[in-house]
Structure 1
Amino acid sequence: MSRAIQAVRETFLPFARPSMSLAEERVVVESLRSGWLSTGPKVGEFEARFAESVGAKHAVGLNSCTAGLHLSLLLHGIGPGDEVITSPITFASTVNVIVHTGARPAFAEVSERTFNLDPADVETRITPATRAVIVVHFAGMPCLMEEFEDLCRLHRLVLIEDAAHAAGSVYASRPIGARGNLTSFSFYATKNMTTGEGGMLVLEDDEMATRARVLRLHGLSADAWKRYGESGYHHWDIIEPGFKYNMMDLQAALGLQQLARLAEFNARRAEITARYDAAFAGLPGLRPLSHEVPAGWSHPHHLYVLLVDPEKLGFTRDEMMERVQNAKVGVGVHFRAVHLHPYYRRAYGFRPRDFPIAERVGDNVFSIPLFPAMTDQDVEDVIAAVRQAADGGYE
């Protein structure tokens, strides 16, 4: 006989919550009192520290990862008549930046094990119009970078990395961001480190880095803090039409403190992931996304994703999410297959069954809370909520 889903706790546990300490409060207040609220010296300091942390020559502070991806395409001259292949299992921003250059978005299948782009399938999708590939390090799992680099070299394609989930990821003993490809990180509120909103573009090329800094602030020839600093006012020129993509000093001050704690954050994420793995092992109808990595790799555990098998479970992903939510535990979906959203179907003619693996993933995945501020009791509450929901509410 069925029974109602029971709340596993008195207060609702959100899907995500940033980890803030008194140290973060202190550096933000110091930044406020300094008088530099917008782009200033803290941004430069954060850029230098972040570049060092990932082994890149340059880092350009931005207001989002989306801005970094857009600039990456523009810096490589991607535009109308071009085609860019990316993953259908990603946030819309990865695709929207392609659209905003005037290029056409294209997709390839994902790995059933990692939900990352499958390089073998990407190769079958290359056309004479293909100019670039954007790989997405889903949930922080590094893509098969050597295979993608070989593929892009062979076909003379640009390779761009969407590292929105990948702060702290390591591939083949090198941090994501160290391989010379234009790589964009996200510091959104739910990410492994946060500046509230914000992003960072890392790269090696000196000229591209200079142009990225011009484009991020309306095409101005000098940053505000250089124009209004102690050396006196300097006239500026508009070199080309740019964007309002700059990072604020307030964000950078917070980012510096969060960067210093990133290893601590990711270690706690790994602990929670291990507890979930043990609790959900062999649970019928649910399969955790693989996060096992070879020696020399590191996974930052941005998300804990479960794949629902509706036939084995007896009900759908959406019903499973509702049950967990009713137990007072927040959930999310990462992600519904992008190509099936109304705009992309209407504008580019994508249809159901174009990418069966990605569509099966998009129809059946959901994510559960995974953030460093979770207590051990929070973790046990999530486990109880998932197990109760998966049991179908039957005694």
Structure 2
Amino acid sequence: MLNMQKEQLAMYGAKPVREKMLPYGKQWVDETDIENVVNVLRSDFLSSGPEIPKFEEALAREAGTRYAVAFSSGTAALHAACFAAGVETGSEVITSPLTFAASSNCILYTGGKPVFADIDPLTFNIDSQEVYKKITPNTKALIIVDFAGQPAQYNELYDMASNHGLVTIRDAAHSIGSIYKERRPGMSTDMTIFSFHPVKHITTGEGGAVVTDREDFYHQLLMFRNHGITRDEQMLEQQNSPKWYYEMQFLGYNYRITDIQAALGTSQLKRLEQFVKRRRELAVLYNKAFEQMPGLAFQQQAEEVSSSWHLYPLRWKKDFFSVSRDTIFQALLAENIGVNLHYIPVYLHPYYQSLGYQRGICPNAEAVYEELITIPLFPLMTDRDLQDVVDAVVKVYNYFLK
């Protein structure tokens, strides 16, 4: 059944809390979304058509920025942001280790070197004081990750970056719909990226975007997603050219999003407020359920921020339990609770180890990783679903508590 000791499995002779597996995350696609996509399928444009700028305009309004450029994935958006920021061979970019690998891989794509700064063990976000320690003459940019949906401390980080001439990139893959000091996600950094994977707040199937107020970044991002090509008469090197003329001015990529995806994104964006409201309701209920359980810790919310709660990471402090986090993880799966783990610190992956990164460089991130389990959180969850998760956590907690 599960790779656990027989005596540890004794409790599972009884019926699990749930009959069917509850996933940790799930998209919410309704009939309006489907109708919008079908309308595109019946139209003249499946790609490079009118739905893309329509989606981008709506996204820029939501983010509070002048511009938005949609991409084929959040990873593509991060890659484009690093390019626009001027990251190149010899550049260093500081980022969090407690994130998906894309937040760091994008630096490698442009020839830069990822530099990992440790996290705050309470908020799980990058620690601004640790960032300060990592700045060198080679530092080009910061990639600041909003872990689980909670905005990082942007005032301190942006001031620090400005004082050192650094470009700030906000990895808001988890945090569209969040608020930092009454500001929307795109208003705290030079560029902000979003992801629209199915488990995120809104989905386009796969997709991402960069939002910015800087016109120079905007034009670079547009070209980067289309092989470095422009048709903009103001940007062409050859003046007085014919209408059909275009130029490839640098080596870009095919990172275009389709009209099919954009139509779904525009429709989903109209329900973002509803999605985030439900996520926050569920998080409050979880917090209330777990706050009196010694040995369990949930992500502490910093002052003047409002998380959009992409994830609900629950920390099982190892000194309180008779078994490892991995056994607890398996026990929750046996209760048909679809748990996950976010994240292995990036530099512990074999590829990064081969680049020379050493275990121990970010002790807080490593300690948190060894105790985290992500439990289900998505807007389609019912109160009954949430109660099932709480019941399973309590059951496993009581069984393995020392």
Per the TM alignment, residue 191 of structure 1 is displaced from its structure 2 partner at its CA by 0.3
Report percent identity of matched pairs.
38
State the partner residue of 2:247.
237
2:342 corresponds to which of 314, 325, 334:
334
Distance in 2 (alpha carbons) for counterparts of 1:4 and 1:120 = 45
Q: TM-score, normalised to structure 1's length?
A: 0.93
| Structure 2 portions without partners, runs of 5+ | 1-6, 233-242
Aligned residue-pair number? 383
Deviations 1:238-259 (A, max 9, x none): 2222101111111111111111
Per the TM alignment, residue 10 of structure 1 is displaced from its structure 2 partner at its CA by 1.3
The amino acid that maps onto 2:390 is: I
Q: Does 1:120 align with 2:129?
A: yes
Deviations 1:99-125 (A, max 9, x none): 111111111110111111111111111
1:195 corresponds to which of 204, 219, 230:
204
State the partner residue of 2:325.
317
Q: Is the 8 A contact 1:4 1:393 kept in 2?
A: no
State the partner residue of 2:382.
375
State the partner residue of 1:46.
55
Distance in 2 (alpha carbons) for counterparts of 1:131 and 1:254 = 35
Distance in 1 (alpha carbons) for counterparts of 2:188 and 2:315 = 31
Distance in 1 (alpha carbons) for counterparts of 2:247 and 2:189 = 30
Secondary structure, in 3 states, of the residue corresponding to 1:24? helix
User: Aligned-residue CA RMSD in angstroms?
Assistant: 1.7
Distance in 1 (alpha carbons) for counterparts of 2:322 and 2:330 = 14
Distance in 1 (alpha carbons) for counterparts of 2:32 and 2:67 = 27
Distance in 2 (alpha carbons) for counterparts of 1:326 and 1:97 = 36
Q: Is the 8 A contact 1:289 1:305 kept in 2?
A: yes
Distance in 1 (alpha carbons) for counterparts of 2:360 and 2:230 = 48
2:288 corresponds to which of 263, 268, 278:
278
2:91 corresponds to which of 78, 82, 85:
82
Secondary structure, in 3 states, of the residue corresponding to 2:247? coil
Q: Is the 8 A contact 1:284 1:313 kept in 2?
A: no
Q: Does 1:21 align with 2:35?
A: no
2:115 corresponds to which of 84, 106, 117:
106
State the partner residue of 1:138.
147
Distance in 2 (alpha carbons) for counterparts of 1:263 and 1:72 = 26
Per the TM alignment, residue 35 of structure 1 is displaced from its structure 2 partner at its CA by 2.8
Q: Is the 8 A contact 1:191 1:302 kept in 2?
A: yes
Per the TM alignment, residue 314 of structure 1 is displaced from its structure 2 partner at its CA by 1.7
The amino acid that maps onto 2:129 is: A
Per the TM alignment, residue 140 of structure 1 is displaced from its structure 2 partner at its CA by 1.1
Q: Is the 8 A contact 1:180 1:204 kept in 2?
A: no
Deviations 1:54-91 (A, max 9, x none): 11000001111211211111112111111111000010
1:385 corresponds to which of 386, 392, 399:
392
The amino acid that maps onto 1:354 is: I
Which segment drifts farther, 366-375 or 127-136?
127-136
Distance in 1 (alpha carbons) for counterparts of 2:231 and 2:376 = 42
State the partner residue of 1:33.
42
Distance in 2 (alpha carbons) for counterparts of 1:321 and 1:132 = 36
Distance in 2 (alpha carbons) for counterparts of 1:211 and 1:23 = 34
State the partner residue of 1:227.
none
Deviations 1:276-301 (A, max 9, x none): 112112223211112x3434x32111
Per the TM alignment, residue 364 of structure 1 is displaced from its structure 2 partner at its CA by 1.3
Distance in 1 (alpha carbons) for counterparts of 2:105 and 2:48 = 26
Q: Does 1:72 align with 2:81?
A: yes
| Structure 1 portions without partners, runs of 5+ | 224-232
Deviations 1:316-359 (A, max 9, x none): 11111100001011011111111111111111x22222111010
The amino acid that maps onto 2:351 is: Y
